[in-house]
């Protein structure tokens, strides 16, 4: 569904063809695995077959003797890190854990944990050599369940972890090693008094399985450690500056010794922020004197990169019979994986974020288990808790006999409301998204048929600001070359170029955007947090304003008048007595008036107002098989101002379908030995185009006053509502409440049988 | 491993010869020996469709074809879809319809769509979804891809009439 073009703007709200489009539909675009350098070696990685074990010894001598093998590295080649915490742009990392995750040191903590890597003349020799490395393990019992890992007698993964208290959580009582890395507690109001006012209280326990981002392009890195000590890395990454910093910290070299050249990137969704291969490829290059390429296998992408946690949650909500929420309580435990760092913090902040909740208490735990170290995945932590809260809201609505949209409108968070964890909302569009669904053709059309049901659910994501920069050079033909450092996962180049074009009064096609490397572009934080169109957009707008200022100065020189008499508007400079020169005319005079005009812009302090979405879904359940068919899907989302509506819709549609996969199919399926038994696309089963219908979108525009054009990030929040919306629809269809994800055929048919 | 084999075939209309090991897949040879890196590797076990090429008129996942099996075949890859410097209807429809985000699956989808429209110039939405179900996209939710295929089919029909 298209939005009307935005009448306030000339470029914003239009749908130009993306600048990198021709390369991407002809196969010319260069992704990480497409890099080929002269003399390049190919490398393979040895990975642990065990989920939890001590490494007693590693013998690489037979592998070294294989003809064609040029270098081998193990953790012994990576510098020791000690206890260092390093800020990496979108969160901090413990360097001791980060280096042990890149190449295991004393222990392996999950099946697939990297142990060694071999560079050889071709990939086949490297893979043969891997099999010749002899590792002696001492097996330890794996801990695969978050609740078991929290038990006092649980096997401990990391002997350096003690529970850190966050918010108002009490300090840990003893100083013994534990799997509970963090304990969060947020409180607001008086929870006992709140529940005392409730006419209806629902409390349920929820379990969700670990799931993966599932980007189609596996991780990769090609590195050259040159004889001058400079390291160049070609890789697909969500943040070239973060990758540079992680690589430099892991190798203990200055950041200026590392240059990251970001290639095109084949999806990330949060999973391509953490570094796995660059330091390994760099060390292999140093040892061999040749460039070295590493490309991950699909199985290793599943087993050994950063999925999002499985969870166990207990959530309780109370409301009055006229539909006023009065209190909420949540207890949330997340599987951090091998090392601390799950998105439990955001989960605690998001669990009641859609509502104006007067009394709340949220407790959260970050727990190590023998699974891969988790990473960000699209609105990290928010989908889990939306599943819990939004299904409870549905149950309350049923008990008090209130329409689910009306209940949400009545209790929606709005400007001035304080979240349980503290912050007070700026202007947000939660109410508007629910109203958009309530007024949609979808919601107003009755759903008929046996075993069919409709559900709605809402979701929240903060969106972040962080640091961005851009520079823009005016070309004599009236175009602008835009250079920025935010790697482009889903079309952000065109969205940023459009904001520059709007500010200068030129067309999107007259801007030529380039994503630069770490030696050419100014610093940009990671492409994550739904921040790039917002923050790098602001940087591009600032760069355009800088160009405007310089062109005003040039015009003052040309017309021999004071700069105060000149202004830049409507695509050109206006002077006294109706004098006007268009941008293109000014560009043509560049060389005659002093040479290059280069604008620069940065953004840093900005935070965003927050994104909300409400989805509506119709399903049909096969009561024998427990299979759920999505019949119709509509997603409404507050996008602030849609810069390029097609790519806004695309983010909403893609997020919704990822959420549908999470709801119905996707899960890490481990056996008792801690081995993932479904580490292929066929068995993990992300949605195909045959599984889903068209995804209708309703773009709601409540401009964020913190951005000059009102942009709100759109990328993440659309993944949050689908599991709950589908669970609510399943209940409407067959009368069973689902509390576990995924709601796969075996789980759903078991619940249907129980009810019978 | 010894015993390299010479394989002769036609790639995008050109006669091509390469030397390969028996264990090398067609995908590996396309990318590494022939530098045709538009064909992408997503899984190496036939699940994702990113490496789809048209072999003797039939779409195949090149990661499940051994390079030696390509002897004498006629191959069309993403690099052979555009007509000279002009995009074909499928490529244009993907661009105009914003049917790609990260773009890694796009070559596979475009090649598979070429095969679909060759077999069935006027597919229904269900035909399209069934034929493309072996191609995974994690970014778009498929909505705009399906619409782009519909638009391409229509454009080709208009051009033919």
Same domain, residue pair A647 and A684: yes
Q: Which of residues 92-151 of A touch B (CB under 8 A)?
A: 123-124
Read off the pLDDT of each residue in A264-284 and give the average, rounded to a whole number: 97
Which spans in A315-429 are helix H? 344-350, 382-400, 404-411
265-294 of A, contacting B, C-beta below 8 A: 265-269
Domain-embedded: residue A370 = no
pLDDT digits (tens, 9 = 90+) for A179-212: 999 999 999 999 999 999 999 999 999 999 999 9
Q: How confident is the model at residue B2 (pLDDT cuts 50, 70, 90)?
A: low
Question: Choosing among A27, A657, A688, which should be mutated to test the B contact, i.e. which has the most B CBs within 10 A?
Answer: A27
A457 & A493 share domain: no
The answer to whether residues A452 and A524 belong to one domain is no
How much is the average pLDDT of A402-419?
97
Say yes or no to pLDDT of A603 above 50: yes
**Judgement on whether residues A447 and A538 belong to the same structural domain of the protein:** no
Structure tokens at A159: 């002997």
What confidence score (pLDDT) does residue A88 get? 77
Q: Which residues of chain B neighbour A690 with C-beta distances below 8 Å?
A: 129-130, 132-133
Nearest to A693 by CA among A645, A657, A646, A729: A657
A650 in B contact zone (CB under 8 Å): yes
Three-class DSSP labels, A637-699: EECCCCCCHHHHHHHHHHHHHHHHHHHHCCCCCECCCCCECCCCHHHHCCCCCCCCCCEEEEE
**β A92-94/A164-167 pair status:** unpaired
Determine whether the interchain pair B98/A646 forms a contact, defined as Cβ–Cβ distance below 8 Å: yes
Residue A743 and residue A628 share a domain: yes
pLDDT above 60 for B1: no
Domain boundary, last residue among A545, A578, A603: A603
Q: How far apart, in whole angstroms, are the C-alpha atoms of residue A458 and residue A571?
A: 41
A656 lies in a domain? yes
Final residue belonging to a domain, choices A583, A603, A623 = A603
pLDDT at residue A607, as a whole number: 79
The predicted pLDDT at position A5 comes to 61
Domain membership of residue A75 (yes or no) is no
Q: How confident is the model at residue A609 (pLDDT cuts 50, 70, 90)?
A: confident
Residue A197 at interface with chain B, using a CB cutoff of 8 Å: no
pLDDT tens digits, residue range A654-682? Answer: 999 999 999 999 999 999 999 999 999 99
**In this structure, is residue A671 part of a structural domain?**
yes
Q: What is the chain B residue with the closest CA to A492?
A: B101
Chain B residues touching A679 at Cβ < 8 A: none
Q: Give the total number of structural domains in chain A.
A: 2
User: Do A459 and A482 have their domain in common?
Assistant: no
Instruction: Report the residue of A2, A25, A35, A694 to disrupt the B interface, i.e. the one with the largest count of B CBs within 10 Å.
Output: A25
pLDDT tens digits, residue range B40-68?
Answer: 999 999 999 999 999 999 999 999 999 99
* Residue A193 maps to a domain: no
Q: Nearest C-alpha of chain B: how many angstroms from A577?
A: 43
What ipTM describes this predicted complex? 0.98
**What are the pLDDT digits (tens) for A715-743?**
999 999 999 999 999 999 999 999 999 99
Give A66's Cβ-side CA count (13 Å radius). 24
> A542 and A577 share a domain?
yes
Secondary structure of residue A596 in the 3-state scheme: coil
Angstrom distance (rounded) from CA A648 to CA A654: 10
- Mean residue pLDDT of chain A comes to 96
> What is the per-residue pLDDT across A74-115, written as a single tens digit (0 to 9) for each?
999 999 998 888 887 667 889 999 999 999 999 999 999 999
Chain B residues within 8 A of A25 when measuring between CB atoms: 87, 91, 94-95, 100, 103, 106-107, 110
**Residue A741 located in a structural domain:** yes
A647–B98 C-beta distance less than 8 A? yes
The CATH number covering residue A476 comes to 3.30.365.10
Q: Are residues A576 and A478 in the same domain?
A: yes
* Closest residue, chain B, to A268 (C-alpha): B102
User: What tokens does A80 get?
Assistant: 């020791």
Instruction: For CA atoms A96, A100, A101, A106, give the dihedral sign.
Output: negative
Please judge whether B98 and A657 are an interchain contact, meaning their C-beta atoms are less than 8 angstroms apart.
no
Q: Name the residue among A15, A491, A688 with its Cβ closest to that of B101.
A: A491
Tell me the pLDDT band of A7, cut-offs 50, 70 and 90.
confident
Both A433 and A548 in one domain: the answer is no
Residues of B within 8 A of A214 (CB-CB) are: 138
Q: Which of A572, A603, A634 finishes a domain?
A: A603
Nearest by CB to B142, which of A31, A490, A657?
A657
**Residues A619-635: what's their mean pLDDT?**
98
Do A499 and A592 reside in the same domain of the chain? yes
Domain of A452, in residue numbers: 381-463+608-755
Contacts 24+ apart (CB under 8 A), A101-104: A101/A274, A101/A276, A101/A338, A101/A339, A101/A373, A102/A75, A102/A78, A102/A250, A102/A275, A102/A276, A102/A279, A102/A280, A103/A73, A103/A74, A103/A75, A103/A77, A103/A78, A103/A280, A104/A48, A104/A55, A104/A75
Alpha-carbon span A684 to A664, nearest angstrom: 11
A403, part of any domain: yes
In a domain, A228, yes or no: no
The verdict on a CB contact (< 8 Å) between A653 and B141 is yes
Give the residue on B whose Cα is nearest the Cα of A697.
B143
Is the pLDDT reported for residue A2 higher than 50? no
CB contact (8 A) between residue A213 and residue B138: yes
Same domain for A715 and A630? yes
Same domain, A406 and A471: no
Q: pLDDT class for A606, splitting at 50, 70, 90?
A: low
Domains and CATH numbers, chain B: 5-80 (3.10.20.30), 89-160 (1.10.150.120)
Report whether A579 contacts A568 (CB < 8 A): no
Inform me whether the pLDDT recorded for A701 exceeds 50: yes
Average pLDDT over residues A466-483: 97
pLDDT on residue A175: 83
State the average pLDDT over residues A691-716: 97
Closest by Cβ to A654, choosing from B103, B104, B139:
B139
Residue of A nearest to B106 (CA): A25
Average confidence score pLDDT of chain B: 97
Contact B138 A647 (CB under 8 A): no
How many other C-beta atoms are found inside a 10 Å radius of the C-beta of residue A258? Answer: 27
- The answer to whether residue A533 scores a pLDDT higher than 80 is yes
A635: distance to nearest CA of chain B, Å? 12
Asked if B97 lies within 8 A of A682 by C-beta distance, the reply is: no
């Amino acid at each position: 569904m298209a939005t009307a073009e935005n009448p306030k703007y000339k470029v914003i709200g239009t749908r130009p063809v993306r600048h990198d489009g021709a390369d991407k539909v002809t196969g010319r675009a260069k992704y990480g695995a497409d890099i080929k350098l002269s003399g390049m070696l190919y490398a393979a990685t040895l990975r642990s077959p065990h989920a939890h074990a001590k490494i007693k010894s590693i013998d690489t001598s037979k592998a070294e003797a294989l003809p064609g093998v040029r270098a081998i590295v193990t953790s012994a080649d990576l510098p020791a890190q000690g206890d260092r915490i390093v800020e990496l742009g979108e969160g901090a990392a413990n360097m001791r854990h980060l280096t042990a995750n890149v190449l295991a040191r004393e222990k392996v903590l999950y099946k697939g944990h990297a142990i060694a890597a071999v560079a050889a003349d071709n990939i086949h020799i490297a893979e043969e050599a891997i099999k010749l490395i002899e590792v002696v393990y001492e097996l330890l019992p794996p801990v695969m369940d978050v609740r078991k890992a929290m038990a006092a007698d649980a096997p401990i993964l990391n002997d350096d972890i003690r529970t850190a208290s966050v918010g108002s959580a009490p300090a840990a009582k003893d100083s013994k090693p534990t799997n509970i890395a963090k304990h969060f507690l947020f409180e607001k109001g008086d929870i006992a008094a709140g529940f005392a006012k409730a006419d209806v209280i629902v409390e349920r326990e929820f379990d969700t399985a670990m799931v993966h981002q599932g980007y189609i392009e596996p991780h990769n890195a090609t590195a050259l450690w040159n004889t001058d000590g400079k390291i160049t890395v070609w890789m697909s990454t969500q943040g070239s500056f973060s990758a540079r910093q992680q690589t430099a910290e892991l190798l203990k070299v200055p950041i200026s010794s590392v240059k990251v050249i970001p290639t095109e990137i084949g999806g990330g969704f949060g999973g391509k922020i953490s570094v796995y291969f660059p330091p390994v490829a760099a060390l292999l290059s140093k040892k061999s004197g040749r460039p070295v390429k590493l490309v991950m296998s699909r199985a290793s992408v599943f087993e050994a990169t950063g999925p999002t946690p499985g969870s166990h949650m207990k959530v309780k909500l109370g409301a009055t019979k006229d539909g006023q929420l009065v209190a909420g309580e949540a207890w949330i435990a997340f599987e951090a994986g091998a090392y601390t760092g799950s998105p439990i913090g955001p989960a605690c902040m998001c669990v009641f974020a859609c509502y104006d909740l007067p009394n709340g208490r949220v407790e959260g735990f970050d727990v190590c288990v023998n699974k891969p170290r988790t990473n960000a995945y699209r609105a990290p932590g928010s989908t889990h808790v939306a599943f819990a809260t939004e299904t409870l809201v549905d149950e309350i609505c049923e008990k008090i006999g209130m329409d689910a949209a009306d209940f949400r409108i009545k209790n929606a968070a709005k400007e001035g409301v304080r979240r349980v964890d503290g912050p007070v909302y700026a202007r947000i569009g939660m109410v508007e998204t629910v109203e958009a669904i309530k007024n949609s053709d979808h919601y107003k059309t009755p759903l008929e048929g046996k075993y069919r049901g409709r559900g709605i659910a809402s979701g929240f994501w903060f969106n972040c600001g962080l640091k961005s920069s851009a520079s823009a050079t005016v070309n004599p033909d009236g175009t602008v070359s835009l250079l920025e450092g935010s790697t482009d996962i889903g079309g952000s180049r065109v969205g940023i170029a459009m904001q520059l074009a709007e500010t200068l009064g030129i067309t999107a096609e007259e801007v030529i955007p380039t994503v630069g490397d770490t030696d050419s572009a100014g610093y940009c934080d990671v492409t994550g947090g739904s921040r790039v169109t917002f923050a790098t957009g602001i940087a591009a707008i600032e760069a355009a304003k800088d160009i405007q200022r310089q062109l005003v100065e040039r015009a003052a020189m040309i017309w021999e008048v004071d700069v105060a008499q000149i202004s830049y508007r409507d695509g050109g400079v206006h002077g006294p007595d109706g004098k006007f020169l268009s941008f293109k005319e000014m560009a043509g005079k560049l060389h005659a008036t002093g040479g290059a005009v280069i604008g620069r812009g940065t953004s840093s302090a900005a935070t965003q107002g927050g994104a909300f979405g409400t989805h509506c879904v119709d399903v049909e359940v096969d009561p024998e098989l427990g299979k759920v068919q999505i019949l119709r899907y509509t997603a409404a989302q507050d996008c602030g101002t849609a810069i390029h509506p097609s790519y806004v819709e695309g983010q909403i549609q893609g997020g919704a379908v990822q959420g549908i996969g999470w709801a119905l199919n996707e899960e890490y399926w481990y056996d008792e030995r801690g081995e993932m038994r479904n580490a292929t696309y066929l068995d993990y089963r992300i949605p195909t185009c045959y599984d889903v219908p068209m995804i209708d979108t309703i773009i709601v525009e409540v401009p964020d006053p913190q951005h000059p054009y009102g942009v709100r990030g759109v990328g993440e929040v659309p993944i949050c509502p689908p599991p709950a919306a589908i669970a609510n629809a399943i209940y409407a269809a067959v009368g069973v409440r689902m509390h576990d994800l995924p709601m796969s055929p075996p789980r759903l048919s078991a619940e249907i049988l129980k009810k019978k | 491993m010894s015993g390299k084999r010479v394989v002769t075939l036609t790639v995008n209309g050109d006669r091509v010869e390469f030397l390969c090991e028996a264990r090398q897949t067609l995908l590996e040879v396309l990318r590494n020996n022939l530098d045709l890196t538009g064909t992408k590797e997503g899984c190496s076990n036939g699940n994702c469709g990113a490496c789809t090429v048209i072999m003797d008129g039939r779409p195949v996942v090149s990661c499940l074809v051994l390079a030696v099996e390509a002897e004498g075949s006629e191959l069309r890859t993403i690099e052979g879809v555009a007509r000279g410097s002009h995009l074909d209807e499928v490529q244009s429809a993907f661009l105009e319809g914003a049917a790609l985000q990260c773009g890694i699956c796009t070559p596979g989808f475009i090649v598979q769509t070429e095969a679909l429209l060759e077999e069935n110039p006027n597919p229904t939405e269900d035909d399209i979804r069934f034929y493309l179900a072996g191609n995974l996209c994690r970014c778009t939710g498929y909505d705009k891809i399906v619409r782009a295929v519909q638009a391409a089919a229509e454009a080709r029909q208009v051009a033919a009439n």
